[in-house]
Structure 1
Amino acid sequence: MDRRMTAAAIRRLGDEALAREPSLGTLLGRLADAVDDGRATEAEGYIGAIDARGLAELLAGAHSRFWAVLEVLRNVLVFAPIAVTWFGLSLAAGAYADMLAARPDLVSQPFLLLWEQGFGGRLLFNFGTLALIDASLIGILILLSFTLHLRSELTDVAFQTSVLLKESEIRAVLGQASSLGALDVSGPDAEAILADMAAEERRIYERASEREG
């Protein structure tokens, strides 16, 4: 693979990354230009800034915005029932105090009963409504957790295999960029780098095959 072919391979990776993470796509595009033009120092800096594993996860779809939003929503909802309950209790306590101030004879009535009755119209939502809101939030939380867990269980092996294979492709391309004169490596050193990259690619492929099997 010559310099031009290596640059083209890097540009293809950049095009894939551009839709998911524009900054990485731009970085890969600049690396391709540096490799194509033989700008050794610049290419070396770009290659050092690229995390092959992270890029592979990105291109394989690890950072789906939809699932990321669902996960954030699930994490936030963990605290929602507690927040809603204490907010409701604070309102109920205020309404209860106002009601007793107006009608001291109701002091013997159970707090929850008065709350369920709306404290004589002083509170918009009663105890049953608050309980329903809490139950709904907990139900949504359970559903989100189950959905995220199911997705993880069903896609984890296939996804990890895809990531490993993509990582091997990225490392191979970066290895070519490092060895085919982009970084001004001499013959024996270039051969050593290529040998190391080939061995690494074989190890990654074997790990992917084991996971897939």
Structure 2
Amino acid sequence: MKNTINTICGQTIKCGSAGLILLASSFSASTFAADYPEAGNFSDGSKVWAENCNRCHNMRGPKELRDDQWISTAYHMRIRAGLTGQETRDVITFLQASNTKTVAAGSTHIVAATSKGATGKETYKKTCVACHSANGKGAFPGTPDFTDSSGALSKSDDTLINHITNGFQSSGSPMAMPPKGGNPNLSETDIEAVLKYIRETFGK
């Protein structure tokens, strides 16, 4: 049988009489990185995950995959899930968030919730609601229930401000909250305001 030459992702694969040999190991996850050069939106990504991925995969654990491996995984799964390019970038940003303890400014391209005069309610709706839900009970398994009097809101303001600022993983939760909820634009004032809103709204 005649040998044939196939070019895949810029690399040449030779197919002989034994058939096509898939040299998967020759392709690093970075092969696909060029397809997603821009960071996505953390909040939108959490919604995409909940609506398309969570049914089969449940919540992913922190550091389960490296950043480049999340890209490779999403590259393959986006077809089955029918995700657009933007949705894929968003869900990658959401999944990669648990791999870092700090979030570089501008890395998530989230719409700023920090305009002058932004209220705690506005900040919650733009940054927190995707994971904590509108009713404060949490959108995912393991997310703190703010309506539970013995739960997260039983802690001091100093403790909760530290958790919001630096990120935190609740006991039994499969995924950590990234620093500032994935929104690097949050200021100290924003964080204090959103905590006040959460206490007044859900901690009754």
What TM bracket, shorter-length normalisation?
Answer: under 0.3
Answer with 1 or 2: which has the greater Rg: 1
1 or 2, which has the higher strand percentage? 2
Give the TM-score, by structure 1 length. Answer: 0.25
Answer 1 or 2: higher relative contact order, Cα 8 Å, separation at least 6. Answer: 1
Give the TM-score, by structure 2 length. Answer: 0.26
